[in-house]
Amino acid sequence: MRRLNFEVLTLFPGILEGPLNESILKRARDKGLLNTSVRNIRDYTEDKHKTADDSPYGGGAGMVLKAGPIFKAFEAIKAAYPGESFLSILLSPQGRLFDQQRAEELSGEKRRIILLCGHYEAIDERVIDALVDEELSIGDYVLTGGELAALVVIDAAARLLPGVLGDEESAYRDSFGDGLLDHPHYTRPAEFLGRNVPDVLLSGNHADIDRWRRREALKATLIKRPDLLATADLTDEDRKILEGLRQELE
Ligand code: 4GY
């Protein structure tokens, strides 16, 4: 059985709680496919005020997460799993962009994955130098902290584990698997606000339906995210369809 193990380090464990305890992630945890532990960095401070951050050397606004408590937290994690190996990831806008390919790789990761979440302005660089294997960004914008990004990484990787999605849901696994956008979907009623479901979807002809869906996926990608076509898994037939679509859309 493939299983994912995450250790999240954060000053705000409560942010992770809701999402890990709902819906598919909750079910994956209950099935033992996804194992998550969320630790509060503040628990690893050693002064009486439990100081986790401090003002930056060199001056300026904002606070910097102190190295000490994070080092202690890493030591505690390593002591809790003797002989295990770890992959530590810092969520930060300075990281490499997280994408479906990285999600697929992480879903097969054997090591325990430490997700380090910064908050406030920054994190002491010595943490990154000494403890962080990889920096990941979920997009080119700045969050108040890495917690939401950590949830995105957990969610995207966990849903790719065999057994996490049920049969009903698992078709959705393919939607980005080939690097294309999804085709349109419809459910009852067949007419809504004067708009009809495409006839082919009511035809019962599954070869036609598959061809229609592929063409619509190619069309959506061409119109909305043409950049994805450079790296998508395309057959010769796909390329012909795309040529036809380009003509039509001119
Ligand atoms: N974007 N992708 C992101 C982020 C918040 C200051 C370091 C992102 O992953 N994380 O914006 N994180 C910052 C806040 C400390 C993390």
**134 given a catalytic annotation:** no
Q: How far apart are CA 68 and CA 76, in angstroms?
A: 12
pLDDT digits (tens, 9 = 90+) for 169-183: 775 555 678 999 999
Q: How far apart are CA 161 and CA 147, in angstroms?
A: 22
Centre a 10 Å sphere on the Cβ of residue 238 and count the other Cβ atoms it contains: 18
Would the CB of 69 count as within 6 Å of ligand 1?
Answer: no
Indicate which residue's Cα is closest to atom 2 of ligand 1: 137
pLDDT at 135 over 60: yes
Would the CB of 140 count as within 6 Å of ligand 1?
Answer: no
- Is pTM beyond 0.85? Reply is yes
pLDDT at 174: 58
pLDDT digits (tens, 9 = 90+) for 66-86: 999 999 999 999 999 999 999
Scanning the structure block, which residue is given the tokens 């995450």? 6
pLDDT digits (tens, 9 = 90+) for 138-166: 999 999 999 999 999 999 999 999 999 98
Structure confidence at residue 121 as a pLDDT band (50, 70, 90): confident
Query: Where does the chain show beta strands of DSSP type E?
Result: 4-10, 34-40, 53-54, 64-65, 86-97, 112-117, 122-123, 134-137, 191-192, 195-196
pLDDT at 236 over 60: yes
Q: How far apart are CA 91 and CA 62, in angstroms?
A: 18
**162 given a catalytic annotation:** no
Contacts of range 226-233, beta carbons closer than 8 Å, 24 or more positions apart? 228/179, 228/180, 228/181, 231/179, 232/178, 232/179, 232/180, 233/178, 233/179, 233/180
Would the CB of 128 count as within 6 Å of ligand 1?
Answer: no
**211 given a catalytic annotation:** no
- Residue 158 sits at the vertex; the CA angle it makes with 113 and 169, to the nearest 5 degrees, is 180
pLDDT at 182: 96
Name the residue among 43, 24, 14 with its Cα closest to residue 154.
Answer: 24
**Half-sphere exposure at residue 152, Cβ-oriented, CA atoms within 13 angstroms:** 18
User: What's the CA-to-centroid distance between 196 and ligand 1, angstroms?
Assistant: 43
Of the residues 121, 135, 155, 178, which is catalytic? Answer: 121
* Mean pLDDT of the chain, nearest integer: 96
